[in-house]
Each structure stands twice: as structure tokens, then as C-alpha cells.
Amino acid sequence: MKRKNIPIRAVLLSTSLLLYLIFVIALSVFACVFFARSTSEKSNELINATAKQITYNYENYLNSILNTASVIQSELNEEKTSEELSSSFDSLMELKSELLAVELYDTEKNLLCKDTRSAEVYPTASDQWFTSASEDQTIHFFEPMINDDANVYNIIFSKALTNGKFHKKVILKMVIDFKEIIELNYKTDLGENGHITVIDDQYNIVYSSTEDAAQDLRFLKNVILGQDHVHTRGHAFTLNLDTIGNSAWRIAIFYNTDDVKQAIESFLIVVIIFSTGMLAAGVCAALFITRKITVPIKKLETTMAKIEREMTPVTIKDGVAIKEVTNLSLAYNKMICQIRDLMDQVVTEQKNQRKSELKALQHQINPHFLYNTLDSIVYMINDDRKQDAQKMIIALAKLFRISISRGNNIIPVQDEIEHVRNYLLIQSMRYKNSFSYEITAAPECLHCKIMKLILQPIVENCIYHGLKNKIDPGFIRITADIEKDNLVFKIADNGYGMKEETIKLLYERFNNPDLSDGVGLKNVYQRLSLYYGERAFLHIESEIDCGTEITLSVPVEVNGNEKN
Amino acid sequence: MKKIKTLILCILIFSLFSTAACKKDNNKAEIFIYNEQDTFISKMANSLRDSFPDNFTLSFHDGKLSQNTQNEQIVTALDNGCKILVVNMVDRLASASIIEKAKSENASVIFFNREPIKKHLLTAKNTYYVGTSPVQEGQKQAMIAQKLLGDPDSMNRFIDKNGDNTLQCVFIQGEKDHQDTEHRTYSCINYLTAIGYRLEILAMDFASWNRAQGKALMERYYKEFGSTIEFVFSNNDDMALGAIDYLLESNVMASGTSAPFPIVGVDGTKYGLQAVKDGYLYGTIVNDDAAQSEAIVNLCRYLCGEIKFYEIGFPFTSERYIYIDGPVVTQENIGQYI
């Protein structure tokens, strides 16, 4: 199972944004649901209270009619004459302005007495008031009247009563003006198109505050009793259908609830705007925070990548990064310091080692030459060639003085050339002038500094491998010059020369660390690379039977400070 | 391991099914009363609570004297899927709406104590009424009076104090337009006049079945008519007890003695019977709540399909009415009841 490497910023951004998104959405949904619920609850409470109030008004009104009937019953108990009854009806009507007529009938529907205010018996469309009241004497009846004038709402009340001490059954009929209660409820605000409809138990409309009440009947028949939400006349209504006490009537109250819907909708819009804003702010915050984490980490990362080359500590400004990242970079810097210390230690150790190696390499030069030279001197003295012996001893002494150079590794080019000159002198004497030599040095290079004993081993090679036992007179030419900030030495001979393969083999051996494989060229090369590193350059050019030219190139060093 | 898992699963499924099966046995009935404060109604509610078998879940709703409140309760119950409504209406005239609403939800309605309008009741199937026969109760009140008065032409002088052979009486009526109010009152009056008594009804007014209102009404009557009152007919015991409360408080009647005139009630409540025993109340007609409860329970069980129609065990009047007669209790036979 290999997991893809996801950048920390992406992880942080995506998780925090996802969580934030969920949070904001959940919050918005919750707020909306809560608001919608509480708003509709509130409006429902209001609607219920309004509906109750209206219903209560109607009940009160009908109750007062019933009370009137009770008053009439108690009048009847007192066994009054019809004249007395008529006058008491008149006074009742005076008290209660809604009473339009009061009439009393016997069980045969003969008029017993009536109020004197109206001359005629109040006309009614049917006898239902009479038949109902005589059928069930325990209850009273309300009956809407069919009115020609749309603004007149009259109702008939009828009830069986008992008359006199012997409780003869009589039927009371009262005609009542319904307008008062209607006007009372006009004041109630039911919203646009909100209206009231009163129906009887047969769904006949007793009264409605709207003209097209007939289209509501289907809602009423569907609801029967209780509350429902209906949509009609282009508006949303809450329909409350309840009974009116003391009657078999029901009252339907249509309350316009568009406002509630609108309130909920506008709240929804506000919430959407708000949550979008919140989301945008969240995105910004997440970007900012992740930047605070990732930018210093990126910096740390790039600095760490450069560790091999530069090893510089990270610098992070205060306040740019968060605490943990700052701590991390501090820890990293500490580590860098330690690594540096360790590296310094390693470098010192290596320097010491190189020093000892250099010493060892330098020491390799001396013995053979010294023995041979001394042998030659002894031979010269034996041969009584004092002059030559003296000359040789002087040259040898110079040679060694420069070799030692008070322990300095770096000497002026002048000295190095002097050294090789003395060497050549000694060797030419030893080999009885079998070769000649020429040394040319550009004056500007004489004062430059160079590692000592680098020319001598090469010259030695020329003599032993190039010129020794050669029939033709040998020739060695040494030149020293400055080319583009480099000190260039060229050592050329006209000896046997070398094959390509031999040169190749030589180059290969240069990089063999085994020191015991002591060839002069390798010795020089290794010393140069130890001291100058990659800037040192040794080139071999050779042609069979024509000669060899060795080119040495090192950077110019004028001050020649002793490195070690 | 797998076997155990399947076993556990099987047990779980089985238990789930068995509990579901148990649940199905539970029948639900919602009971709506017009007012918990009414002594007889609360007695009736208790009796219903005791009479229903255990497999019925009951819930009681108090209309608190408001038909609108009761309507709300009924609508909520129907919305919650209630199929059997046991209703004691606040307003008898609301029966049409209740029956129609229940019919639209395929629910059955059993009315009790307050009789729905007959033509409304017959519009739907599975709609019943269980109650007393107020006409008979009125007649039985009249019979108590008859027994005390003796011959209409020479009335018992202990009752007919002024000796005019006419009974000066007052009526304490229940609720205006309650079928029991009207029937109890007029069947009593009609019965007495039919057998030749002359009645002078000094006053008749309503006290809404309520003890405090009964007391207030008696105070009014007594202040107006004083000792000319020879007989008090009360539509129920509570109001009669209210009247007694007034007589005791105003020292018209000393504690431990009997009333200056006979008072008769209806219902035979605990307090009513106690008052009969104490001698304050002359007599009452037991409104047999236990029998009414039994009839309601049997109707419910029939509607749930638990019993057959003929097992209901009560006679029907007009197919949907069960009227239950109660015995007469007077100071002579109170020993059998208390």
C-alpha cells in the first residue's frame, strides 16, 4: 500500500475548508429550520388567538340571544296576558337593538302574541324554524334568512318554551339582526383577502365577509373541523374551522399567511448571503493560516536541499511563521551548527592527514638521488677532479637548501627553478654532459609562489626514461610562464617518447591512492591535487622517438601564504 | 462463530416480530370529557379507567368547559390515527361537526352523558350514545315526591305546609340546553301534573351542574321565597348539595337535622349518597356509572372486533342509543347503598 504524498497545504486547506463548509451549512440549515418553525409557530399562535377571539365574539353574541330567550321563558312562567307579554317584548327590543321581531306561537303555529313594533308577522321563507323547534324541544335553532339585500344579515332564532303554570308548550321565534357581530369582527385584521365564513351543519352559508364564499366550501368540506393550510385567490391562507358554541354552526376563518412565507423567504436570503460571506472569510483565513505554516516550511525545505553546498542557517522573520515552524527552523539551525562543527573537525583532520602525506611524498624523492650523487662525488674525488667535485657539492648543497626551505612547502618560482637547475647541473655532470638543457622563465612569474619540488621529479623522469642511454645528444627545455591567471610550466625532452597506451596507463595510475606505487609523475600529480585541488592540471603529450612534453598548470599565487 | 451470529440474528428478528405482534393487540381509545371538575364526570372517568381491559390503551382529555378546546383535542387525536373516540361533549350542538370529522377519518364515536342531536348521530355508522334516560330519571324524582305527598287532593301536611293542596316548589336546573336538564325537569313536571298534582313552580333556573352555583341559586331562592318553598327538585346531586351547603351555612337547617323541605337530586354520587344517609338530601336516582362504563367498554370491544354485536349485552333504543336506568335511593333504602 503506497500512499500518495499530498502536500500539507492541500491537506490543511481541504480538511479545514470541508469542516468549515459543513459547519456553515449546518448552521444555516439549522437557523433556517429554527426560524421557519418559530415564525410559523408564532404566526400560528397569533392565528389561533385571533380565531379564538372571533369565535368567542360569535359565541357571546349567540349566548346573549339565548339569554333573551331565557328572559322570555321567565316572563312566560309568570302567566302574563298576551298584552303584557307584547309590552315586555317591546321593552326587550328596546334594550336589545339587534332584536327585529319577537313572536310566540302555539303548537298549531297560531300566533299567540307578538311585539307591537312591527305591524306584520316577520316573513320567513320556510317553516323550518317551527318544525325543528317543535320536534326537539331541548334545543334551540338558528336559521339564516334568505335576504334580498346583500348587506342585510338576519337570522331566525326558534325554541320551544313552556307557558304559564301548566307548562303549555309554545314556540318562540325571534328575528335577529346579525350585523352587529359582523361589524365587530370587521376590525380584526386577517390580512389581504382574509375572511370569515359562517356555515350551518348542512354547509349552507349563513354569512360570509367575502362575496365568493361558495368556492371555499370544498375546503370546508375537506377540513370539517380543525386547521389546514389552503391556497386560494392567489394567496396562502391558514384555515381555522371551529364550532360556534350554542349553535350547530361552524365558523371558518381564512387568515392570510403570505407574510409568514415572505418573512421566511427573506430570512433565507439573508442566511444565504451571510453564510456565503462566512465561507469566503473562511477561505481567506484558511489560506492565510496555511500560508503561515507552509511558507516557512518550504523555506526550510529549500534551505535543507542546499545543505550539501551551502550549509546556511534558515532565517525566518519574527511573526511570519507560527511557533512550531519557528521552533523547527531553530532546531534545524542548531543542527546546521553542529554539522558545521563536525565538518570543520573533519577538515582539520584531513588537513593534518594531507600534511603528513605531503611530507611522506616529499621524502620519497630524496634517497636514490642522494646516494647516486654522493657516489658520483666520491668517484670524482677518486679521479682527482676536485673542481668538478667542488662544483657538485655546492650544487648539492643548494639543492638541499631549497628542498628544505626552512620547512616551507610553498616557495617562490625562482627558488623552484634554482632547485631544478642545480639538479640538472648535478645530473649533467654525472652523465658526463650527455644532454644539454635550457631553462626560460618569464620574469613576472619568478616571484609567484609554488609548491616546492614539483619540477625536479619530472625532470628526473626525462633523464631516466627519456634520455638515458640515448645515442643522440639529449635536450631538456623548461619554460615557466603565466597564462590567464595560471602558472604554466612546460618540461620537454627529445627522448624516446611514449605510446598512447603508456600515457593512458600513467593517467590511470594518477588516481590510484596507493602511495607505494611511487612514480615521479604520480607523486607530483597527487601532491598538486592535494594542495590545489581541481585547479591543478597535469598534461602529458608525447610522440615516439620525438620526445615528451609535460605541461603543469597551477593557479597563480603571489602571496603564497602557507596554507598548512 | 458464524452459527452463533445467525442464532443471535434469528433471536433478534423473532423478538422484534413478537413485540410487533404484541403491539397489534393493543387497542386504543381516547376519552374526551367536558370538565374534570364535574363530580359525576370524574367518577365516570374513573369508572371507565377501571372497566377497560388491559389490552386497551386509554388517554383522557379534559375539555375544560370549552368546546373549542375539545374540538382541538379531537382533531389532534384523529390526526394521530385514533379510531375510537369516547366523547362527552361540552356543547351538544357540536355533535354534527364531531361526527362528520370522525366519519371522514373512519373513526367510531361513542358519546356519553351528553346526547348528540339525533339526526346528526344517524348520519354516520359506528356512532353511538350511552347515557341515562333523563325522562325516566325525572319521572323517578316525581315518584319520590308522589310517595311523600300521598293523595293529590289531600297532600301530606308535613310537606304541604300551608295546606293549599298545591306544591310550591323550586327547580335547580343543570345546564341550559343539556338534554338531561330539559328532560329531567319536564318529565318530572309532566309526571306530577298528569297524576293530578297541582304544582306552583316558584322558580326554575340553571346552575350548570355545579355545587357552588347551586348554592348561589338556593340563596337567591330562599331569600325570595323563604319558607314558602315546599319541595326542591335538583337536576343533579352536586347542585342539591350546593343548596344544602347554603341551608347549613345560613342556619336555616341545623347540622344533623333534616331539611325544612325535601330536596331530591339525581346521580347518586358518593357525596350525594352520604347526604342521603345524613338526612340532608331526601333522595336521589343513581346514575349508574359502572353500568354505563360497561356499556361503553363493550361497544369499544365490539368496534375492535373483540366481541360480537349480540355480546354487547345492553338493549339499544333507535339502534344506536343505550339508556341505562338507575335505582331510586331514599332515606328508606340508603342502607343498601352505603
In this structure, which topology does domain B2-133+288-325 adopt according to CATH?
Rossmann fold (3.40.50)
Nearest CA-CA distance, residue B170 and chain A, Å: 12
Distance of residue A243 Cα from the nearest chain B Cα, in angstroms: 6
Strands of the sheet containing B27-33, edge to edge, are B56-62, B27-33, B84-87, B108-112, B127-132, B321-324
What is the overall mean pLDDT for chain B?
Answer: 88
Please name which of B31, B26, B21, B24 lies closest in space to residue B55, comparing C-alpha atoms. Answer: B26
Other beta carbons within 10 angstroms of residue A545's beta carbon come to 8
- Alpha carbon distance B129, B106 (integer Å): 17
Determine whether the interchain pair A224/B100 forms a contact, defined as Cβ–Cβ distance below 8 Å: yes
Provide the pLDDT confidence category of residue B17 given band limits of 50, 70 and 90. Answer: low
How many contacts (CB atoms, under 8 Å) link A and B? 77
B165 touches chain A (CB under 8 A): no
The answer to whether residues A145 and A154 touch, using CB atoms and an 8 Å cutoff, is: yes
Q: Which of A65, A131, A224, A249 to mutate to test the interface with B (most CBs of B within 10 A)?
A: A224
Contact B71 A166 (CB under 8 A): no
Side by side, the strands of the sheet bearing B263-267 are B198-206, B166-173, B231-234, B263-267, B283-286, B328-330
The predicted-structure confidence for B142-171, as pLDDT tens digits, reads as follows 999 999 998 888 898 889 989 899 999 999
- B177: nearest CB among A139, A165, A227: A139
Residues of chain A positioned with their CB less than 8 A from the CB of B178: 138
What is the model's pLDDT at position B20?
A: 45
In degrees, rounded to 5, the angle at the alpha carbon of residue A451 between the alpha carbons of residues A446 and A455 is 75
- Asked if residues B172 and B207 have their Cβ atoms less than 8 Å apart, the reply is yes
Residues of chain A found within 8 Å of residue B193, distances taken between Cβ atoms: 166-167
Nearest residue on chain B to A67, judged by CA atoms? B176
How far away is chain A from the Cα of B74, in angstroms, using its nearest Cα? 9
Ranges in chain A, pLDDT < 50: 1-2, 562-564
Could you please report the per-residue DSSP string of A339-358? HHHHHHHHHHHHHHHHHHHH
- Chain A contact for B307 (CB, 8 A cutoff): no
pLDDT of residue A302: 80
Residues of chain B with CATH 3.40.50.2300: 2-133+288-325, 134-287+329-336
Residues of A in contact with B200 (CB under 8 A): 165
Q: Tens digit of pLDDT for each residue in B46-65?
A: 999 999 998 899 999 999 99
3-state DSSP of chain B: CHHHHHHHHHHHHHHHHHHHHHHHHCEEEEEEECCCCCHHHHHHHHHHHHHCCCCEEEEEEECCCCHHHHHHHHHHHHHCCCCEEEECCCCHHHHHHHHHHHHHCCCEEEEECCCCCHHHHCCCCCEEEEEECHHHHHHHHHHHHHHHHCCCCCCCCCCCCCCCCEEEEEEEECCCCCHHHHHHHHHHHHHHHHCCCEEEEEEEEECCCCHHHHHHHHHHHHHHHHHHCCEEEECCHHHHHHHHHHHHHCCCCCCCCCCCCCEEEEECCHHHHHHHHHCCCCEEEECCHHHHHHHHHHHHHHHCCCCCHHHCCCCCECCCEEEECCCEEECCCHHHCC
CB distance B97–A66 less than 8 Å?
no
> How far is Cα B197 from Cα A165, in angstroms, rounded to an integer?
12
Contacts of B75 in chain A (CB under 8 A): 225-227
Tell whether domain A345-555 is in CATH 3.30.70.20.
no
Whole-angstrom distance, CA of residue A420 vs CA of residue A427: 10
B-chain residues within 8 Å CB-CB of A225?
71, 74-75, 97-98, 100-101
Pairwise CB contact (< 8 Å): B177 & A201: no
Q: Do A225 and B96 touch (CB under 8 A)?
A: no
Give the separation between CA A511 and CA A525, rounded to whole angstroms: 9
Judge: B75–A201 Cβ closer than 8 Å, yes or no.
no
Which is nearest to B296 in space by CA: B87, B6, B43, B143?
B87
Residue boundaries of the structural domains of chain A? 10-259, 305-343, 345-555
Residues in A closer than 8 angstroms to B100, CB to CB, are 224-225
pLDDT tens for each residue of B96-106: 899 999 999 99
Angstrom distance (rounded) from CA A439 to CA B331: 167
Return the amino acid letter for A268. Answer: L
B68 touches chain A (CB under 8 A): yes
Long-range contacts of A483-488 (CB under 8 A, 24+ apart): A483/A553, A485/A555, A485/A556, A486/A537, A486/A553, A486/A554, A486/A555, A486/A556, A487/A413, A487/A445, A487/A448, A487/A450, A487/A553, A487/A554, A487/A555, A487/A556, A487/A557, A488/A551, A488/A552, A488/A553
Q: How far is CA A195 from CA A39, A221, B13, B155, B298, in A?
A: 22, 17, 55, 63, 45
- Assess whether pLDDT exceeds 70 at residue B95: yes
Residue type, B288: D
Which three cell numbers mark B195?
A: 297524576
Angle (CA) B101-B103-B107 rounded to 5° is 100
- Asked whether the beta carbons of A179 and A153 are under 8 A apart, the reply is yes
Residue A248 and residue B75: Cβ atoms within 8 Å?
Answer: no
Sign of the alpha-carbon dihedral angle for B89, B95, B100, B106: positive
Nearest CA in chain B to A51: B68
Determine which of B64, B65, B93 to mutate to test the interface with A (most A C-beta atoms within 10 Å). Answer: B93
The dihedrals phi and psi of A205, each to the nearest 5 degrees, come to: -80, 115
B181 contact residues in A (CB cutoff 8 A): 138
The Cα angle at residue B122 between residues B120 and B123, in degrees rounded to 5: 70
B69 touches chain A (CB under 8 A): no
Name the DSSP letter for residue A431: T
CB contact under 8 A, A70 and B176: yes
Q: Which residues contact A196 (CB under 8 A, 6 or more apart)?
A: A54, A185, A190, A207, A208, A209, A251, A252, A253, A254
Mutation site, B65, B68, B106, interface A, largest A CB count within 10 A: B68
Q: For residue B111, is pLDDT > 90?
A: yes
What pLDDT score does A563 carry? 44
Closest CA to A456 of A529, A403, A391, A397: A403
Q: Does domain A10-259 have CATH number 3.30.450.20?
A: yes
From the list A55, A137, A227, the residue facing B182 with the nearest CB is A137
Rounded to an integer, the average pLDDT of B230-257 is 92
Distance CA A494, CA A465 (A): 11
Which of B34, B97, B98, B197 to probe by mutation at the A interface, max A CB count within 10 Å?
B97
Q: Which residue is closest to B188 within chain A, CA to CA?
A: A167
- pLDDT, residue A80, reads 83
Interface contact flag, B97 A166, Cβ < 8 Å: no
How far is Cα A258 from Cα A193, in angstroms, rounded to an integer?
11
pLDDT of residue A564: 41
Q: Which of B68, B100, B201 sits opposite A55 (nearest CB)?
A: B68
Dist. CA B268–CA B44, nearest whole Å: 12
Residue B220 has pLDDT above 80, yes or no: yes
Contacts of A247 in chain B (CB under 8 A): 93
Residue A139 DSSP code:
S
Spatial separation of the C-alpha atoms in residues A31 and A35, rounded to whole Å: 6
> Distance (Å, rounded) from C-alpha A544 to C-alpha A500?
9
Q: Cell 502536500 belongs to which residue?
A: A7
Range name among A230-234, B4-8, B73-77, B256-260 with the lowest pLDDT average:
B4-8
Least-confidence region, from A111-125, B19-33, B319-333: B19-33
Angle between helices B270-278 and B237-249 (to 10 degrees): 50
**Which of the following CATH numbers is that of domain B134-287+329-336: 3.40.50.2300, 3.60.9.10, 3.10.20.30, 3.40.1410.10?**
3.40.50.2300
Locate B221 and state its grid cell: 331562592
Which residues does A contribute to its contact with B (CB < 8 Å)? 52, 55, 66, 70, 77, 136-140, 162, 165-167, 201, 224-227, 242-243, 245-248, 250
Which of B90, B92, B120 is opposite residue A201, by nearest beta carbon?
B120
Nearest chain A residue (CA) to B134:
A138
- Do residue B186 and residue A162 have CB atoms under 8 angstroms apart? yes
Q: What are phi and psi of A220, to 5 degrees?
A: -65, -40
Q: A126-130 contacts: CB < 8 A, separation 24 or more?
A: A129/A156, A129/A158, A129/A173, A130/A105, A130/A158, A130/A171, A130/A173
